[in-house]
Amino acid sequence: MQTFLSLESSNDEQLIESSENELAIKALKENKKYVFISGSSKSGKTTLAKKFSEINKKKLIYDIPEKLVFDTGVYLDLNQLPLKSENFFHFLQYFLSNNLNLTILSNQSFDDSSNISEIIPDTLSRLKLFTFITINPPQDQLLFLLIEKFLKNKSISVQPKIIKHTMNYIERTYDDAFKAAEVINHLLYENNHNINLSLIRKYYEQL
C-alpha cells in the first residue's frame, strides 16, 4: 500500500494512511460492529478515533462512565483498560445487549498470555466477539513521514537528508519518531536555527 498523508485536517490531526494501519482504517471505513484496535503510543489511534467517530456519527469517549446511557455507537479511546474491573464487563455487555457498535482503541494488546490472564473470564468471552487489529510498527517510509509531520506541527521544515540521517540513530517505533522530531527542534534552537549532519551525529554519539 502506498503511504500518504490525508490533507483534510490540520497538521496535528493529519492521518497518514499506510500498510501499517490499513487494516484498522479498512475496518473503520466499513463501520464494523465490534472492533478492538491496539497500537503503541503515537501510532495515531486518537486521530483515527476523532476522524472516524465523526464520519460514522458515533460518540467519542475517553473513559468508561459509571452510568451507561448511549443511544448510538461509541468509540472508546483509552490506553489502559480496566481489565479486572466489573465495570468494564458491564460496559461491554451494554453494547452487546443493545446491539450498538463499539470500537475500542488502546495501547494494550492480547497477543500474549500475560495480558489474557488479567482479564475477568466474562469480560474475555465478550472481547472474543470483537475483531482485533494491530497497528504495526513503522517502516522507513512511514517513519520519515511521521518525523516530517511532527516537525510541521511545530512549523519546522528541514531538508529530507536531515530526517533520513536522524533515522540512522533511532528505533522503528512511533515514540522514537516523535523524539527524533524533538531532537531536530532542540538542535535548531541550540544552533541559531542551523542544523547539519555532523550536529545530529554528535548529539546521538553523546547519548
- pLDDT value, residue 9: 43
Global confidence as pTM: 0.88
- pLDDT value, residue 87: 95
- pLDDT value, residue 4: 46
- pLDDT value, residue 5: 45
Q: The sheet that has 131-134: what strands, in order across it?
A: 59-61, 74-77, 102-106, 34-38, 131-134
- pLDDT value, residue 38: 96
- pLDDT value, residue 89: 96
Instruction: Encode the chain (207 residues) as per-residue pLDDT tens digits.
Output: 545 444 344 455 678 999 999 999 999 999 999 999 999 999 999 999 999 999 999 999 999 999 999 999 999 999 999 988 999 999 999 999 999 999 999 998 876 555 677 788 999 999 999 999 999 999 999 999 999 999 999 999 999 999 999 999 999 999 999 999 999 999 999 999 999 999 999 999 998
- pLDDT value, residue 115: 64
